[in-house]
Amino acid sequence: MSVAEGDTAPDFTMEASGGRTVSLALMKGKPFVLYFYPKADTPGCTTEACAFQEALPQLGKIGIEVIGVSKDPMKPIEKFAEKYNLSFPLASDTSEVAEAYGSWGEKSMYGKTYMGIDRSTFLVDKTGKIARIWRKVKVPGHAAEVMEAAKALS
């Protein structure tokens, strides 16, 4: 299953870093960025998370919140958030949120295929509709690209 721009964002409730809970219901009336990353504290995911952390002040000015999501358990997520001073919530997808967003699929590395998260980002407007989707994200410059699209929402 996959979602498209203009669709209503699939519902979610997940445990997140800092003892928080994130959910679509809690985000009602607020635009936000939901991004899926493969694994906490790996080079690409660290670069991406730090870029979103750097963009937070500007995103905050236009009322955009950021939520990062991986299939990692909470313990490595908390360590990742602390190590890089990530103040936005990093959520642990223990259900099928990545599947609902079409961000879970077959991947391959070194000739082995496995199931994993595809690096992808969703910009959700204040009505709960998906305004923009980025799939197979290339990390360099991505946070800046998301910020430009977010400015158009406000």
Backbone angles phi, psi at 60, to 5 degrees: -60, -40
pLDDT digits (tens, 9 = 90+) for 47-82: 999 999 999 999 999 999 999 999 999 999 999 999
- Note if 45 is an active site residue: yes
What is the model's pLDDT at position 1?
A: 58
Q: How far apart are the first and last CA of the chain?
A: 29
This model's pTM is above 0.85: yes
Q: Widest CA span of the chain, in angstroms?
A: 45
Indicate if the pLDDT at residue 153 is higher than 90.
Answer: no
Indicate if the pLDDT at residue 18 is higher than 80.
Answer: yes
pLDDT digits (tens, 9 = 90+) for 84-137: 999 999 999 999 999 999 999 888 889 999 899 999 999 999 999 999 999 999
Single-letter residue type at 81: A
Name the token pair of 39: 């694994």
Single-letter residue type at 138: K
Q: What domains sit in the chain, N to C, each tagged with a CATH number? A: 13-145 (3.40.30.10)
34, 40, 45, 98: which one is catalytic? 45
d(CA 11, CA 120): 17
Indicate if the pLDDT at residue 34 is higher than 80.
Answer: yes
d(CA 36, CA 14): 13
Query: How far apart, in Å, are the Cα atoms of 94 and each of 25, 31, 74, 109?
Result: 18, 24, 10, 23
pLDDT band at residue 154, thresholds of 50, 70 and 90?
Answer: low
Indicate if the pLDDT at residue 15 is higher than 70.
Answer: yes
